[in-house]
Amino acid sequence: MNAPRLLFAFALAFVLGAIGIIGVQYQRHATTSATQAANAEQTDRADTDGDGRADQDDAPAWPDNAPTPEQVLYAQPQMLQDAIAKLLPRAVDKVNAYLVAFAGDGSEEVFRNEAEYADKVLAQRFGLAGHDLLLINNPATLTQYPVASLSNLEAAIKAVAERMNRDEDVLLLFLTSHGSRDHELYVNMDPLPLDQIGVDDLAGVLSKSDIRHKVIVISACYSGGFIDALKDDTTMVITAARSDRASFGCGSQSEITDFGRAFFVEGLNHNDSFAGAFAEAKRLIDEWETRDNEEHSFPQLVTTPQIETKLKAWRSGLSIGAPVPFTSPIKAIRSDSLIALRYAVSEMP
């Protein structure tokens, strides 16, 4: 082979090799970007692995300006008593309702947002202001609310029971967190040593309260697994999913779960009854999951004539307020920033 042809062959080999390296690097970047996007998307979907736990790498750290974990635990009895002391006396000659809201997982903002909004819409639109207790796990609220623990939940329900007419009034209990296939609600405010809440735990707390009329709403994956242990002739149970199905909308990018948005933001703002709100929520969730090609969560409602009659009597003493918009400005800014950052990374050459 003559010299020009040999030089051309070496040059051609070099160019082809460079193109191959660039192609490999591009494919690696594309694969990595796709994997990162898929992982981010999975973080924002349902907890489908069944453990109900958030990725601790993304969990917010213990805040520098908060008391130490030991101080937080030590303060719980007083914080709970202070919250209980703010409960207003029951109104005489009418059915009263009391709310206990519980946000179990402190590693994601979505559960705090949901519990606070549920309290807001029930207080402002359905007249529960002064008859509400919030238990929330979140790094930003350690000095604002008692933590959401099983022991605080039991104490809060006991305190409400002592202030209400247990035979005539209604307890509204709302719990939001991750849920597992084993039907356990995830309770986490790392590094506090908090117990998880199983079906028997929740049923036992409610049984000891001797509160007759109850509406129990559970926003969690597989939450339908709580129904059989909680239902009775004077109890309505609403769950975000069937016992064998996940629900959607949790994760570090979410402001409120899909069920929370459908039931509280849409349903309770457009209806004056829990059954009506649930019917709208079920329809919306079915539409959203069909649109997104998700396995349907099948929200559940179990009710009885007795609790429906009691709820009708409660509503007859109310003047239903105006719809309450859902806003979460801090989280919205954070989500928009992360979405913009994710898009910028995906567009990198």
| Arithmetic mean of pLDDT over the chain | 83
Give residue 53's pLDDT. Answer: 54
Enclosing H/E stretch for 176: strand 170-176
Is residue 180, in this structure, part of any structural domain at all? Answer: yes
Residues 6 or more apart whose CB falls under 8 angstroms from that of 171 comprise 97, 98, 100, 157, 160, 161, 164, 209, 211, 213, 214, 215
Q: How confident is the model at residue 60 (pLDDT cuts 50, 70, 90)?
A: low
Q: Is residue 59 part of a domain?
A: no
pLDDT band at residue 348 under the 50/70/90 scheme: very low
The string of pLDDT tens digits covering residues 214-262 is 999 999 999 999 999 999 999 999 999 999 999 999 888 889 999 999 9
The residue among 15 and 132 whose pLDDT is bigger is 132
Q: Regarding predicted confidence, which is higher, 23 or 213?
A: 213
Look at residue 348 and tell me if it is in a domain: no
Supply the pTM of this predicted model. 0.80
In a domain, 19, yes or no: no
Q: Is residue 299 situated within a structural domain? A: yes
DSSP element (H, E) containing 10: helix 3-43
Give the model's confidence band at 49: pLDDT under 50 very low, under 70 low, under 90 confident, else very high: very low
Q: How many domains does the chain have?
A: 1
Kindly state the tokens that stand for 50: 């069944």
Note down the domain range covering 293. Answer: 69-339
The CATH number covering residue 270 comes to 3.40.50.1460
Q: Is residue 20 part of a domain?
A: no
Q: Is residue 129 part of a domain?
A: yes
Q: Is residue 58 part of a domain?
A: no
